[in-house]
Structure 1
């Protein structure tokens, strides 16, 4: 079940397509201090990142910031995540141990890296300085890659007493640590860009050149080829009509194509029945994700329902939401609701029209 394996891929041979994006990302890391890898959720960013990191053959530190959603966004939780990431790095590049040991508050036991949270002088900047020294003196390519997956989460641990200001840290590293390369991925694209504030003169990162690599969903042809090859790997012959039906449900979002393929294979039911069953299971996942937004305000539910029903203009959405609420809303409220949904990459704005990015979110919203 290679293509339909739900885990992120780490080898190019296990990945379908994405040759252009992998090469673009690798080329950017070789030349640019800071690269953004952007795309909506489930479009394959983590797989492209991991394949690229492995093929660069340079030391890297990979942090999946989604782990902080469970552990909280404290300084302690972040440094625990960093220590685990560095442990993985040390297991492959053992020479890094000597550099880390020289940092007060860092202990290395075998290949396990641990931080002493009570040591006030222990900062991310000190760790980055040592990684920079290691990249200069030990790395064959002359640099170390630091990758933050789902980097918009950094906004939750930016600024404030006892927390790191990541914009300033990235700006410092950009200017002073030439042997580091940073890659930041983001599914909530607007939030990530707002976190970095690259175009805001008061931001520490203002004026720095940043390369952006974007991942788009597969087109119809690639989606059908992906599904066909995935089922062939499982020795299943699936009709073109069924492949088309799956594509229409998820519209080229590779994470959903993989999810559908994997569960259809495991269901042992007639294909058409299995597709419908997997759709309902997928909608339950969508419900969990979207309900997080609804908890902020029930108005989001009405906005998404309006868009899912084909009401795509600002004025039309406002009229629909007001009709369901039975009272008027200020223009600024509707604008703010739509802006947040766009920042979360749940809604896309195309010219003056709004559409829901994920067909399954659209289907869930229609049922509200």
Structure 2
């Protein structure tokens, strides 16, 4: 069902991303690793889950999906990986290993035998069947980029049966994966990037119409156009609107307004997560300025006025770059920028600091 709010698992449930899924499948079968990129709500998780499921169905490739939201250490990653292996009952994919226990409750590492980094590596190197591991929101592991890259580089060289699909923003670990520097264990072996773009207007309208048709709900063309004009081609917001209107049976105006308000809450949560440990006032002032101007020098001037202080060019450019890498803003052309998400543009950034 198109308007189900959960990430899609089956290919038949996924609208408008068949080409991307087929490409990912072919890359994984060819033993390439893949990174799925794109802004929030664009469908990265659904594309990842469907790709893993299709690889399992068509190619007998075992697969697990890990949501890394809030996972900051290798220990947490290792624990989550073992938990998912056991939950999926993948007990027969390992070679015999003196550092692994295989019991009635599943797989576990023998206590005290290994460091966490070595334990993660041995677990991955012990896999003896084709296996794809989806790491969603992988930028969360940026604080442990160096040891994790060492593990991944070793796995890439030593165990081609294990393949990874990553998703995340272009910062930290993702940047190190896509653009490995001199001395990186993945230099010359970067994953293939699959960037998901918003649907165009016609595809967005067709998505709404097909979802309504599934549920036997009449929907006027002018209403579909208004929804798309408000929400752009962001499939997450279109799905939320469809759920409000066709499943929850809210009236049209309230469905659209509820979608915008709920979307604002979601985007504020995402923004606050991004702002942890950063200069909150600076970033909010930049976003507020971007609602009224696009040019670099005008954004910088407006930001300085809001902050009531001058801003160093380097500090300002670095903040802009971070917002781009986390998919909050786009660089339209040289020297011009805009807020990416239509819902994000609805937020009053001048009051975020006091209300959240």
TM-score of the two chains, using structure 2 as the length reference: 0.88
Q: How does 1:304-323 map to 2 (within 5 A)?
A: 304-309=287-292, 311-323=293-305
Q: Does the Cα contact within 8 Å between 2:285 and 2:350 map onto a contact in 1?
A: no
CA distance in 2: counterparts of 1:355 and 1:237, whole angstroms: 35
Alpha-carbon distance, 1:250 to partner: 1.8
Q: Deviations over 1:303-345 (max 9, x none)?
A: 0111122x11211111001111222111111111101111111
Q: How does 1:26-175 map to 2 (within 5 A)?
A: 26-57=25-56, 58-66=61-69, 69=70, 73-89=72-88, 91=89, 93-96=90-93, 99=95, 102-110=97-105, 112-116=106-110, 118-120=112-114, 123-131=119-127, 134-135=128-129, 143-159=130-146, 165-175=147-157
Alpha-carbon distance, 1:144 to partner: 1.7
Q: Deviations over 1:85-110 (max 9, x none)?
A: 21134x2x5522x63x6342434325
Q: Does the Cα contact within 8 Å between 1:197 and 1:205 map onto a contact in 2?
A: no
**Residue 259 of structure 1 pairs with residue 240 of structure 2:** yes
1:244 to 210, 216, 225: 225
Q: Does the Cα contact within 8 Å between 2:138 and 2:174 map onto a contact in 1?
A: no
CA distance in 1: counterparts of 2:204 and 2:187, whole angstroms: 38
Alpha-carbon distance, 1:209 to partner: 4.5
Cα 1:233–1:198 change in 2 (3 A) is same
Q: Deviations over 1:269-319 (max 9, x none)?
A: 32123212332222122222223344522111110111122x112111110
Q: Deviations over 1:106-154 (max 9, x none)?
A: 34325x33345543256111111111xx12xxxxxxx221221121122
The residue that corresponds to 1:207 in the other structure is 188
1:363 to 337, 340, 346: 346
The residue that corresponds to 2:197 in the other structure is 216
Q: Does the Cα contact within 8 Å between 1:45 and 1:215 map onto a contact in 2?
A: yes
Unmatched segments (≥5 aa) in structure 2: 352-356
The residue that corresponds to 1:138 in the other structure is none
Q: Does the Cα contact within 8 Å between 1:294 and 1:301 map onto a contact in 2?
A: no
SS of match in other structure, 2:266: helix
2:324 to 342, 345, 350: 342
Alpha-carbon distance, 1:157 to partner: 3.0
Unmatched segments (≥5 aa) in structure 1: 136-142, 160-164
Alpha-carbon distance, 1:349 to partner: 1.2
Q: Deviations over 1:210-238 (max 9, x none)?
A: 32222111111111111111122222112
SS of match in other structure, 1:123: helix
Cα 1:192–1:256 change in 2 (3 A) is farther
